[in-house]
Amino acid sequence: MTIGKKRVRGSTRATEERARELRGELTPAEERLWSFLRRKQLDGLRFRRQHPVGRFIVDFFCPSHRLCVEVDGAVHESQAERDAERTAVLSAAGYRMVRVRNEEVLTDLPSVLQRIREAAESKFSPPPELGEGPGEGAFSPGVTDLHRPPNHEHD
């Protein structure tokens, strides 16, 4: 590893444990989308659900394309600033983010799947200050950004 560059890592044991818990607490929209993403059903892309990426837990993650898919419910209307910061941090670290609303998944799944396909097919370059390729960035190990509020309210 070159000096001055940091690999994107930093998921803590607590983040990983929380991700495992969230896998059993999928919202109806997340369950529906997962039924189309699992087992490489979407163009052979392998997705993981409720996966730690650095200090964040993303709803769905395709490691080969560094693609994060977030299914946003009503709770996200009150945390737009937090979501924007999260997207900016992940993008700066070389990850692509697709955000969809619960309603889109439940009422127009073909369009959602097409957006995910397009994101996976598109070329993505990290900002030049991050170095030669994706995977460089500035995550702070030990800092968690739990996906849902502590009351486990589904979004």
State pLDDT tens for residues 45-72: 999 999 999 889 999 999 999 999 999 9
pLDDT digits (tens, 9 = 90+) for 77-89: 678 888 889 999 9
Domain-located, residue 149: no
Residue 20, domain extent: 13-122
Domain-located, residue 142: no
pLDDT, position 45? 97
Domain-located, residue 2: no
pTM more than 0.75: no
pLDDT, position 151? 35
Domain-located, residue 141: no
When pLDDT is cut at 50, 70 and 90, the band that residue 130 belongs to is very low
SS3 28: helix
Q: Which two tokens stand for residue 97?
A: 């983010």
Domain count, the chain: 1
Domain-located, residue 154: no
Domain-located, residue 97: yes
When pLDDT is cut at 50, 70 and 90, the band that residue 123 belongs to is confident
- Residue in this structure with the two tokens 């995550």, named with its chain if needed: 139
Domain-located, residue 43: yes
Q: Give the CATH number of the domain where residue 30 resides.
A: 3.40.960.10
- Residue in this structure with the two tokens 């937090």, named with its chain if needed: 82
Q: Which two tokens stand for residue 115?
A: 């957006």
Domain-located, residue 137: no
- Give yes or no for residue 141 having a pLDDT over 90: no
In 66-131, which ranges are continuous DSSP H helix? 80-92, 102-107, 109-121
